[in-house]
């Protein structure tokens, strides 16, 4: 499975490790991704989403229904 947030679309970034001698080697910046179940009261069902923790904070603040309504184009399974 790829590491992509299903709501925000964030994905792994690539960059360089830079040593003191300014040698550069490639590295990955992984996102903080969690698999979480949410209950949607309008549809009366549970949905499992892979979201970043920053999106999880937004869901806790605004609610899952509001976040899904705003990002309906990104989520095709709902």
Q: CB of 49 within 8 A of CB of 34?
A: no
- Of the pLDDT bands very low, low, confident and very high (cuts 50, 70, 90), residue 74 is low
Mean pLDDT of the chain: 90
Domain formed by 13-70, architecture: Roll (2.30)
Domain boundaries, the chain: 13-70
Give Cα 34 to chain centroid, integer Å. 8
Query: What pTM, to 2 d.p., does this model score?
Result: 0.78
For 68, how many CA atoms within 13 A lie in the half-sphere containing its CB? 16
Instruction: Dump pLDDT digits (tens) for 31-68.
Output: 999 999 999 998 899 999 999 999 999 999 999 989 98
Q: CB of 50 within 8 A of CB of 33?
A: yes
Q: Give the angle subtended at the CA of 66 by the CAs of 61 and 70, to the nearest 5°.
A: 120
């Amino acid at each position: 499975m790829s590491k992509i947030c299903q709501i925000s679309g964030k994905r792994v970034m690539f960059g360089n490790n830079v040593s003191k001698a300014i040698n550069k080697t490639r590295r990955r910046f992984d996102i903080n991704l969690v698999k979480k179940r949410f209950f949607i009261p309008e549809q009366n069902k549970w949905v499992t989403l892979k979201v970043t923790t920053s999106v999880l904070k937004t869901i806790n603040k605004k609610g899952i229904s509001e976040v899904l309504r705003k990002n309906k184009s990104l989520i095709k399974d709902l």
